[in-house]
């Protein structure tokens, strides 16, 4: 059974990875050229888009997207070429992908995170962007596991809400305001340790929590 307390510990561990990734990215300038199609010499593509696709093609071949919480930004990726042992987690199959919204959050974040200007470190900053994006995406889609855990702990109540497609009722039942407050306070305190602006981390995590709950809701409605 998926233990909610353990999943929350997993989410707390992810905080450190996300904040470190953002701290690493913030050391470099915005380098807006990496997001502009053709600006770095790749016809019709941005360097960031080109590298994201190439990275995800490699990860797909290595079986990284066999886990429900690891969701790619790219479509039509190659099938895995190696065998990968997975921890048995009984999740219902889902094709839910919230990465367009993750990308939008990140695009709004990055100009506030980095200094304006161009330091020429294009490949490195694109690599750091991709790492941060994938970590945030994994945190959001971890909502599938959280939703399943909550469902298994109170199946009858959740089943009634799902059968009647009571979105408001489901969202209310999924929401734990105290747990959210603890997370927001914790990441805000951690921000300074990573040389990040607390108000920026708070903004990010409010959006991440909201999107995680959307993942939980959507998963249960199609369960």
Which residues are known to be catalytic?
8, 139, 150, 176, 180, 212, 216
Burial class (CB in 10 A: 0-12, 13-18, 19+), 77: middle
Tokens representing residue 108 in the block: 């709004």
Non-local (6+) Cβ contacts of 215 within 8 A are 96, 98, 140, 141, 142, 143, 144, 147
Find out whether 29 and 115 touch, Cβ atoms under 8 Å.
Answer: yes
The conformational region for residue 149 under phi > 0 = left, psi -120 to 50 = alpha, else beta, is alpha
Position of tokens 């990734």? 21
- Torsion, Cα of 36, 133, 201, 116 (10° steps): -20
For every residue of 67-123, DSSP letters joined together read STT---SSSSPPPP-S--------PPP-----HHHHHHHHHHHHHHHS-SS--S-HH
């Amino acid at each position: 059974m998926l233990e909610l307390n353990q999943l929350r510990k997993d989410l707390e561990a992810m905080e450190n990875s996300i904040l470190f990734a953002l701290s690493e990215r913030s050391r470099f300038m915005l380098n807006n050229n990496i997001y502009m199609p053709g600006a770095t010499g790749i016809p019709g593509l941005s360097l960031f888009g080109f590298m994201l696709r190439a990275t995800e093609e490699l990860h797909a071949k290595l079986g990284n997207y066999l886990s429900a919480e690891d969701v790619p930004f790219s479509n039509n990726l190659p099938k895995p070429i190696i065998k990968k042992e997975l921890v048995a987690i009984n999740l219902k199959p889902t094709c839910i992908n919230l990465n367009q919204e993750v990308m939008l959050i990140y695009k709004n974040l990055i100009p506030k995170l980095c200094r304006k200007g161009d330091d020429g470190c294009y490949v490195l900053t694109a690599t750091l962007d991709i790492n941060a994006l994938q970590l945030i995406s994994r945190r959001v889609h971890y909502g599938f596991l959280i939703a399943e855990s909550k469902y298994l702990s109170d199946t009858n109540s959740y089943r009634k809400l799902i059968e009647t497609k009571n979105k408001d009722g489901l969202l209310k039942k999924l929401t734990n305001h105290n747990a959210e407050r603890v997370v927001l306070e914790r990441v805000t305190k951690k921000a300074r340790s990573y040389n990040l602006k607390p108000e920026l981390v708070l903004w990010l995590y409010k959006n991440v929590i909201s999107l995680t709950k959307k993942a939980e809701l959507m998963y249960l409605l199609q369960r």
